[in-house]
């Protein structure tokens, strides 16, 4: 008797966040856990691709770099975009793409951490609008999976130096201006630095091969990169998020599966003003301090992103709480509401659920001694944001730094199960 045909195991592309390009070296050996469902279903292990994008590039530039790193060829940022923002139209050349067969018939799963999430949505938007050609389409992105992603911006960028009244201007001597200076130094020394410090600044002619030291010194005082709208810091402002939403960028595609993992290190969000437990000071002191600062940030920065003027709102889990707590709860980098998805819940399709990363609880209903032989996600729904809230978690609890915690293992097992369920459903629905 012939064995049933198993669905294809579609590769997963990982897109890293701001100032992160370490790849598998940092993300570690999670494959044993992410492939659990594949092996239980007797399928091939899933191929994982770490995409090469600029760690400080704008969402548009990152999306272009992501596309060409996969299909190959010379990165084309678009003539109109390049002229508008004053840099070269073309970037580096990839002699061979990481997945040159990428197409509607051979789609890919995507996982983005932090700014990697909005980068994936920008890529899907460019595919939808024909930026890469009319033969490309948003269904090439089979699933979007995001962890702690600032879809609607973050107040941290203002705390670091972005001028709230005059963005993208950066306040002098702020932490943001210091970071911008570091970027220029790294870009200037790019030809002799390791790949892990590559700023992908080819189109901006910032290296010592194309720019003088005196020009670099002037950039350290006022950065032509950091103080433009074509840069990562501006793209995570609330102003930039409002602009994207006004253009309907980030609207769900019916042929794509969406999931976001929402971390929160603050507590007491539904009883009053959130607070940051002192234990985080011992484990992640920088995130502890940034989380406290975000709690104290002026909510007027949100502008039209404020959902209610009555003083009460309902969060994604249907729990009522005060406006202040709903918008100041955060993971140390991104406010909780921004991690959900683009747009208000009333303006998109979404489902919210608590997400206990406790393997014993997640398998409590399985008979004693029984093996887990099927995915936990029996019938994934496309065109809907599946939002999972994770309590007592910070911006880097799950990724990118692999330390082998039980939470990390449970996360990768669940993500692998989710992707396998999507693969199986696609194999049935595809002609």
Report strand pairing: 320-322 vs 312-314: antiparallel
Is the bond preceding residue 168 a cis peptide, omega within 30 degrees?
Answer: yes
| Number of alpha carbons in the 13 Å side-chain half-sphere of residue 206 | 29
Looking at residue 1, its pLDDT comes to 36
Cα–Cα distance, 354 to 207 (Å, whole number): 47
Cβ count within 10 A of residue 7: 18
Work out the pLDDT band at 321, boundaries 50, 70, 90.
very low
pLDDT tens for 103-118 read 999 999 999 999 999 9
Q: Is the confidence at residue 25, as pLDDT, over 70?
A: yes
Cα distances (Å, whole numbers) of residue 236 to 2, 172, 229, 372:
53, 19, 10, 40
Looking at residue 273, its pLDDT comes to 66
Instruction: Give the pLDDT mean for 82-109.
Output: 95
Instruction: Give the pLDDT mean for 406-418.
Output: 94
Provide DSSP, 215-249: HHHHHHHS-TTTTSSSSHHHHTSHHHHHHHHHTTT
Candidates 22, 28, 40, 11; CA nearest to 413 is 40
Domain membership flag for residue 417: yes
Cα distances (Å, whole numbers) of residue 412 to 120, 220, 278, 356, 417:
19, 41, 28, 13, 8
Dihedrals phi, psi of 428, to nearest 5 degrees: -85, -40
Dihedrals phi, psi of 258, to nearest 5 degrees: -120, 140
Looking at residue 19, its pLDDT comes to 81
Looking at residue 269, its pLDDT comes to 56
CATH code for the domain of 269: 3.40.50.1820
Domain membership flag for residue 226: no
Q: Helix/strand/coil (H, E, C) string of 327-348?
A: HHCECCCCEHHHHHCCCCHHHC
- 104 or 42: which leads in pLDDT: 104
Q: Is the confidence at residue 165, as pLDDT, over 90?
A: no
Looking at residue 272, its pLDDT comes to 55
Q: Is the confidence at residue 319, as pLDDT, over 70?
A: no
Looking at residue 304, its pLDDT comes to 55
Domain membership flag for residue 333: yes
pLDDT tens for 59-68 read 999 999 999 9
Looking at residue 297, its pLDDT comes to 81
Residue 298 structural domain: 12-157+232-429
Q: Is the confidence at residue 93, as pLDDT, over 90?
A: yes
pLDDT tens for 365-377 read 333 333 333 335 6
Looking at residue 210, its pLDDT comes to 86
Domain membership flag for residue 137: yes
> Which of 5-19, 96-110, 204-218, 367-381 is the most confident on average?
96-110
Q: Which bin fits 86, alpha (ψ -120 to 50), beta or left (φ > 0)? A: left
Mean pLDDT is lowest, of 4-13, 109-118, 171-180, 384-393, for: 4-13
Domain membership flag for residue 306: yes
CB burial string 79-102: b at 16+ within 10 A, e below: eebbeebebeebbbebeebbbeeb
Domain membership flag for residue 208: no
Domain membership flag for residue 218: no
Domain membership flag for residue 200: no
CA dihedral 358, 360, 361, 362 (to 10 degrees): 80
Work out the pLDDT band at 313, boundaries 50, 70, 90.
very low
Cα–Cα distance, 136 to 36 (Å, whole number): 32
pLDDT tens for 120-143 read 999 999 999 999 999 999 999 999
Dihedrals phi, psi of 418, to nearest 5 degrees: -60, -45
Instruction: Give the pLDDT mean for 302-308.
Output: 53
Mean pLDDT is lowest, of 42-46, 223-227, 253-257, 289-293, for: 223-227
Looking at residue 92, its pLDDT comes to 92
Cα–Cα distance, 213 to 3 (Å, whole number): 66
pLDDT tens for 234-243 read 999 999 999 9
| Mean per-residue pLDDT over the chain, rounded | 85
Cα–Cα distance, 267 to 277 (Å, whole number): 7
CB 198, CB 65: distance < 8 Å: no
Instruction: Give the pLDDT mean for 208-229.
Output: 86
Candidates 11, 26, 10; CA nearest to 396 is 26
Structurally, the chain folds into a number of domains equal to: 1
Candidates 52, 178, 181; CA nearest to 119 is 52
Instruction: Give the pLDDT mean for 45-58.
Output: 93
Cα distances (Å, whole numbers) of residue 365 to 129, 319, 362, 372, 376:
45, 26, 8, 11, 11
Looking at residue 3, its pLDDT comes to 39
């Amino acid at each position: 008797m012939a064995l049933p045909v198993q669905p294809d195991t579609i590769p997963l592309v990982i897109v890293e966040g701001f100032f992160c390009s370490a790849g598998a070296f940092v993300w570690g050996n999670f494959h044993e856990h992410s492939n659990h469902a594949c092996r239980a279903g007797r399928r091939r292990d899933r191929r994982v691709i770490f995409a090469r994008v600029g760690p400080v590039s704008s969402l548009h530039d990152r999306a272009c770099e992501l596309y060409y790193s996969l299909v190959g060829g010379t990165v084309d940022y678009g003539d109109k975009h390049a002229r508008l923002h004053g840099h070269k139209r073309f970037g580096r050349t990839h002699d061979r793409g990481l997945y040159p067969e990428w197409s509607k018939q051979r789609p890919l799963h995507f996982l983005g951490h932090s700014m990697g999430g909005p980068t994936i949505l920008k890529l899907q938007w460019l595919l939808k609008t024909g930026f890469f050609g009319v033969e490309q389409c948003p269904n090439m992105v089979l699933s979007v999976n995001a962890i702690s992603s600032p879809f609607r911006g973050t107040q941290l960028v203002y705390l670091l130096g972005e001028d709230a009244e005059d963005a993208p201007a950066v306040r002098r001597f702020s932490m943001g201006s210091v970071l911008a200076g570091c970027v220029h130094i790294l870009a200037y020394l790019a030809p002799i630095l390791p790949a892990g410090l590559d700023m992908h600044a080819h189109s901006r002619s910032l290296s010592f091969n194309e720019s003088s030291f005196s020009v670099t010194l002037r950039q350290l005082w006022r950065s032509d990169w950091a103080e433009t709208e074509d840069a990562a810091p501006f793209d995570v402002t609330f102003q930039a998020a409002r602009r994207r939403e006004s253009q309907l960028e980030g609207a769900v595609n019916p042929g794509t599966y969406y999931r976001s993992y929402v971390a929160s290190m603050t507590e007491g969000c539904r009883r009053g003003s959130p607070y940051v437990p002192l234990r985080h000071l011992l484990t992640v002191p920088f995130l502890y301090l940034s989380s406290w600062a975000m709690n104290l940030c002026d909510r007027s920065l949100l502008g039209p992103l404020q959902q209610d003027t009555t003083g009460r709102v309902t969060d994604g889990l249907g729990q009522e709480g005060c406006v202040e707590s709903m918008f100041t709860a955060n993971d140390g980098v991104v406010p909780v509401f921004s991690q959900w998805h683009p747009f208000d819940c009333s303006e998109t399709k979404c489902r919210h659920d608590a997400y206990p990363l406790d393997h014993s609880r997640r398998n409590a209903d399985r008979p004693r001694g029984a093996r887990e032989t099927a995915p936990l996600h029996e019938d994934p729904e496309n065109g809907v944001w599946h939002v999972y809230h994770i309590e007592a978690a910070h911006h880097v609890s799950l990724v990118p730094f692999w330390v082998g915690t039980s939470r990390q293992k449970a996360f990768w097992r669940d993500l692998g199960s989710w992707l396998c369920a999507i693969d199986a459903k696609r194999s049935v629905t595809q002609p």
